[in-house]
Structure 1
Amino acid sequence: MAQTQSFSFELFPPRTPEGVAKLPAIVAQLAAVKPKYFSVTHGAGGSTQDGTYDTVVKVVEHTGVEAAPHLTCVGSTRANIAALLQRYRDAGVKRIVALRGDLPATAMSPSAPGEFHYANELVGFIRETHGDAFEIEVAAYPEMHPQGSGPIVDFEHFRRKVEAGADAAITQLFYNADSYFDFIERCAKAKLTIPVIAGVMPITGFQNIVRFCTSCGADLPRWIRLRLEELQDDKPALLDFGLDVVTRLCETLLKGGAPGLHFYTINQAEPTLRLWKNLALPVPV
């Protein structure tokens, strides 16, 4: 396996006292396999930015593993973003996941409200104000952004993020490897050479994976959907089937040259670690 392939995990700031209490043990289990970094999300409209900061700091303090906050521009001002960037830089953060963010439910346009309208503007601002102090990662959508007007326009949005200074990209979750390889071919033709890390979500249930795929515009192949629906009342069988499906997907991606995998953990350690073990992924010394 290529030494340059990297593996990382996504967390979200806990929203309940129970979630806060459970997170340290979950992070410790995930940190034991020595991921390259953890990314930490926040809610729509920046609703949990304090939670993001607190989680990032705790991950680094408790594990020594790098943590990267998601930074979105929905509803933000230049002053607000500047203050957040300085706060993260002062805390020793060296990696930012720069996103437009989820639009309000009432939004009538893909342009975000606030002083930044698209992620490329946020990327450009980070470069303008902090140079190369941060490694910037952006989102990629092999199957098109759920609010995209079309594949060509959607790809142009990605191109602008790269040209604004993105260092790497992480894809939205997907279960069709061909969509990823097609996206990589389009990047090559457009001479976009940044690494595009494949975003992967373990399958742990029928209803939840249908909900995730629907919300993010990802295709859940019919054969997978039908099998999951049939197995939804047999949890062990469903977990085994989901593990096999996602293992094959990951193996195909890595053998096909994907520079790494970013696991959407949903703040659960066991499903991701089962997948990690099944793939026999390396643990850095």
Structure 2
Amino acid sequence: MRFSHNIGALDLGVSFEFFPPKTEKMEEALWAAITRLAPLGPRFVSVTYGAGGSTRERTHATVARIVRETNLKPAAHLTCVGASRAEIDDVVRGYYDAGVRHIVALRGDPAGGLGTRYQPHPDGYASTPDLIAGIKAIGDFEISVSAYPEQHPESPDVATDIAILKRKVEAGATRAISQFFFDNDKFERYVDRVRAAGIDVPIVPGIVPVVNFEQSASFAKKAGTSVPAWLAHRFEGLENDPATRQLVAAAVCAEQVMDLIDRGFRNFHFYTMNRADLVYAICHMMGLRAKTEPAVAVPA
């Protein structure tokens, strides 16, 4: 990988994605992570759903709270899983009424998680392009969608994925955020293929800091993401050394981002895993600094 040092004058943008809270205590931890990263001035922040939409209500409540209590721009995740068109349309209207103007439109993982077969709701949206069309019919939303540099696990090939991405853009998507990856060469080749297919929306690299290598490698396998041998070597022997793992994770992730900056990429979407301090350190190494005005209101 190449390494960039001349980053101070670049107009770099970041966005942050957080885990959905399953309990009240996790919700407090999530809010602490949002508060920690907010001063970096992200372009937007988002909160995911659990598998099968299992945390849907808490996710919606968190997004509404971000609108009420911060200056951040939330992107509301919305999936086709486990809900009728009428139910999803009600959620979209609720978001619009709450002041949300950006939706991350996803088909969603099957209720059984990755590796199980997806079954559309009998009265629901069958695909992401259908969902996007439904959203656009309700309001003028900015819409982000997913992209898969190394092929969606259910897809026969990357060409099929790119054709689906084109349908999403034709339906109204304005940005694509990639599945996380560790091989920058593969991501760059993917973007070249997307451009050759006539797709001109921004393709934002999705970045995940690796702290627990075994867990990350296991999830990567399910998601169809390759794990280079050099990455495994970086974490070798650190299974019982969390402090050193954290330092290595920051260095490895910063190295990947710096290399992407050298290749001309300027916007990055961090799958934070709710590890705010780690992501803050990586952003600092990118040259980002806290804004002077707080983005989160502090109660008097």
Does the C-alpha gap of structure 1 residues 148 and 203 become closer, same or farther in structure 2, counting only changes over 3 Å? same
Of 197, 209, 221, which residue of structure 2 is paired with 1:202?
209
1:12·1:52 contact (CA, 8 Å) conserved in 2?
no
**Letter of the aligned partner of 1:31 in structure 2?**
A
Once the two structures are overlaid, the 10-residue window that deviates more, 107-116 or 86-95, is 107-116
Q: What are structure 1's unaligned runs of at least 5 residues?
A: none
Q: Does residue 287 of structure 2 align to residue 280 of structure 1?
A: yes
Structure 1 length normalisation: TM-score? 0.92
| Distance in 2 separating the partners of 1:60 and 1:89 | 11
Of 145, 170, 179, which residue of structure 1 is paired with 2:186?
179
Q: Does 1 or 2 have the higher relative contact order (CA < 8 Å, sep 6+)?
A: 2
Structure 2 length normalisation: TM-score? 0.87
**Letter of the aligned partner of 2:207 in structure 1?**
V
Does the C-alpha gap of structure 1 residues 112 and 259 become closer, same or farther in structure 2, counting only changes over 3 Å? farther
| Distance in 2 separating the partners of 1:127 and 1:31 | 28
Once the two structures are overlaid, the 10-residue window that deviates more, 190-199 or 20-29, is 20-29
Does the C-alpha gap of structure 1 residues 55 and 256 become closer, same or farther in structure 2, counting only changes over 3 Å? same
Is the partner of 1:137 in helix, strand or coil? strand
| Distance in 2 separating the partners of 1:22 and 1:40 | 13
> RMSD over aligned Cα, in angstroms?
2.1
Within 5 Å, which residues of 2 pair with 1:1-285?
Answer: 5-105=12-112, 109-110=117-118, 112-114=120-122, 115-130=124-139, 133-283=140-290
State the identity as a percent: 35
| Distance in 2 separating the partners of 1:13 and 1:111 | 23
Q: Which runs of 4+ in 1 moved over 6 A?
A: none
2:105·2:145 contact (CA, 8 Å) conserved in 1?
yes
| Distance in 2 separating the partners of 1:193 and 1:213 | 27
* C-alpha distance after superposition, 1:250-274 (max 9, x if no partner): 0111221224101111122111111
Aligned residues: 283
| Distance in 2 separating the partners of 1:108 and 1:271 | 32
**Letter of the aligned partner of 2:248 in structure 1?**
F
Q: What are structure 2's unaligned runs of at least 5 residues?
A: 1-6, 293-300
* C-alpha distance after superposition, 1:138-196 (max 9, x if no partner): 00110111222222212211111111110001111111111211111011111100001
Once the two structures are overlaid, the 10-residue window that deviates more, 96-105 or 259-268, is 259-268
Q: Once the 2 structures are TM-superposed, how far is the Cα of residue 282 of structure 1 from its aligned partner?
A: 4.9
